[in-house]
Amino acid sequence: MSEARPSIAEAGERAPTDWRAAAMQRRLRRRYASERRFRLWGLAAVVISAAFLAFLLFTMAASGIGGFLRSEIALPIDLKSAALPVTPEQLRSRGADFALASAGLENFVGVAVVRAFGPEGGDLVADNAWTFVRDAVKRDPSLLGQRVTIWVPASSALEAGARGDGPAPMRALAARFKASGMLARGFDWAFLTGTDSTDPTAVGIWGGLKGSMFTMLVTLLIAFPVGVLSAIYLEEYAPRNRWTDLIEVSINNLAAVPSIIFGLLGLALFLNTLHLPRSAPLVGGLTLALMIMPVIVIASRNAIKAVPPSIRDAALGVGASKVQVIFHHILPLALPGVLTGTIIGMARALGETAPLLLIGMRAFIVAAPDTLTDPATVLPVQIFLWSDEVSRGFVEKTSAAIIVLLLFLLAMNGLAIYLRNRFETRW
Partner 1 sequence: MNDLTALARNETAAGPPAQKISARNVNVYYGDKKAIDDVSIDVDRENVTAFIGPSGCGKSTFLRTLNRMNDTIPTARVEGEILLDGEDIYSPDMDVVQLRARVGMVFQKPNPFPKSIFENVAYGPRIHGLARNKADLGRIVEESLKRAGLWDEVKDRLADSGTALSGGQQQRLCIARAIAVDPEVILMDEPASALDPIATAKIEELIHELRGRYAIVIVTHNMQQAARVSQRTAFFHLGQMVEYGATSQIFTNPRQTRTKDYITGRYG
CA 6 to mean position of chain CA atoms: 68
- Burial of residue 62 (number of CB atoms within 10 Å: 0-12, 13-18, 19+): exposed
Residue 358 found at the interface with partner 1 (CB under 8 A): no
Kindly tell me which of 94 and 240 has the beta carbon lying closer to partner 1.
240
Q: What are the two backbone dihedrals, phi and then psi, of residue 383, each rounded to the nearest 5 degrees?
A: -60, -45
- Could you tell me which residues are beta bridge partners of residue 151? 74
For residue 229, the minimal CB distance to partner 1 (Å) is: 21
Residue 321 Cβ vs partner 1, minimum distance, rounded to whole Å: 5
Q: How many residues bind partner 1 (CB under 8 A)?
A: 22
Instruction: Specify whether the backbone of 187 is left (phi greater than 0), alpha (psi in -120 to 50) or beta.
Output: beta
With 0-12 / 13-18 / 19 or more C-beta atoms within 10 angstroms meaning exposed / middle / buried, residue 421 is: exposed
Q: In angstroms, rounded to a whole number, what is the distance separating the alpha carbons of residues 197 and 389?
A: 11
Is residue 253 at the binding interface for partner 1, with CB under 8 A as the rule? no
Q: Which is nearer to partner 1, 167 or 308 (CB)?
A: 308
Give the nearest distance from C-beta 247 to partner 1 in angstroms.
17
**Binders in 304-323 for partner 1, by CB under 8 A:** 308, 310-321
By CB under 8 A, tell whether 14 contacts partner 1: no
Does residue number 427 form part of the binding site for partner 1 (CB under 8 A)? Answer: yes
Minimum distance, C-beta of residue 243 to partner 1, in the bound complex (Å): 15
Which of residues 102 and 321 has its CB atom nearest to partner 1 in the complex? 321
In contact, 159 and 201? CB cutoff 8 Å: yes
Q: Please tell me whether residue 420 binds partner 1 under the rule CB under 8 A.
A: no
CA separation, residue 9 to residues 6, 12, 315 (Å): 8, 5, 63
Please count the other Cβ atoms lying within 10 Å of the Cβ belonging to residue 41. 10
Among 14, 27, 36, 328, binds partner 1 (CB under 8 A): 328
Q: Which sign does the torsion angle of CA 354, 356, 357, 359 carry?
A: positive
Q: Binder to partner 1 among 239, 242, 256, 390 (CB under 8 A)? A: 239
Q: How far is the CB of 252 from partner 1 (least distance, A)?
A: 22
Q: How far is the CB of 310 from partner 1 (least distance, A)?
A: 4
Give whichever of 320 and 419 is closer to partner 1, judged by the CB atom.
320
Which residues make up the interface to partner 1 (CB under 8 A)? 239-240, 308, 310-321, 324, 328-329, 333, 425-427
